[in-house]
Structure 1
């Protein structure tokens, strides 16, 4: 959830829109094998890939800044607890109010995205009972390969 918020913020700076208007996710392992879902990332329904002032290079730069943000914060402050606290507050609020909001959350997959028995960050509906369901967004072939890499990275530790 935090990496997705950071990614949306980075993209919003390039696109000159409010971060809440950017819809896209960082999925996979929480670490270096995470990946952005650029094939479906959009602003107001328009795919960022079709925006004339946007490029693959800018998208990659936004992802790298997102991926490396935690390392920079830890180097400067020793931890990322403030941002984590904000996210926990949002998640608890969504559970207590049965909000039904979609967040990228780490969940053990049971066939979703073609994987079983591994915990990955994927879009989930969060409500009073916790994770209500996993949302399977369409992934490009490249994104499917990146998800497979995340799965393989995590399975090394199981």
Structure 2
């Protein structure tokens, strides 16, 4: 949720719009292998890619900023509690109100052994339905890379548990 919110804010700033006029998601792990699924990002319900090309907006810069902004804030302040608290409040309200809202949350997708951020409908019972985004081949490859990164780390930790 944090990375998606940062991306939505970055897009809003680049196009001089309120972030609530932007929809889309950052997918993958909360870290270096996350990415923005630009093929699914819309501004005022219009696909962002042709608009960005027409207006000369560099989507890669927005993606880099959304990926790295948390790290920069942590380095500057020593904490990032406000963004985390905001995401926790939104998720808690979604669960308690049983609102069935689509949110980018960590969830276990079929065929995978680790959790990554991907949109799902959330309610009182947790994940009620997983979204299926129509990703480009390049985005599918980035998602696979993120799964591999997290899975490799997970299996490395499990393999060394007896050392602790």
Q: If the length of structure 2 is used for normalisation, what is the TM-score? A: 0.89
Equivalent residue, structure 2, for 1:26: 26
What stretches of structure 2 of length at least 5 have no aligned partner? 156-164
Closer, same or farther: CA 53–75 of 1 in aligned 2, 3 Å: same
Equivalent residue, structure 1, for 2:162: none
Matched, 1:141 2:137: yes
Aligned positions, number: 152
Quick one: distance in 1 between partners of 2:141 and 2:18? Answer: 30
Write out the 4+ residue segments of structure 1 that deviate beyond 3 Å after TM superposition.
none
CA contact under 8 A between 2:41 and 2:47: conserved in structure 1? yes
In angstroms, what is the RMSD of aligned CA positions? 1.1
Matched, 1:100 2:100: yes
Quick one: distance in 2 between partners of 1:146 and 1:40? Answer: 14
Quick one: distance in 2 between partners of 1:75 and 1:14? Answer: 24
Residue 54 of structure 1 deviates from its aligned partner by 4.4
- Which structure has the highest helix share of the two? 2
Taking the TM superposition and a 5 Å limit, the aligned residue runs for 1:1-158 are 1-51=1-51, 52-55=54-57, 58-109=58-109, 111=110, 115-157=111-153, 158=155
* Higher CA-based Rg: 2
Closer, same or farther: CA 126–54 of 1 in aligned 2, 3 Å: farther
Closer, same or farther: CA 8–54 of 1 in aligned 2, 3 Å: farther
What stretches of structure 1 of length at least 5 have no aligned partner? none
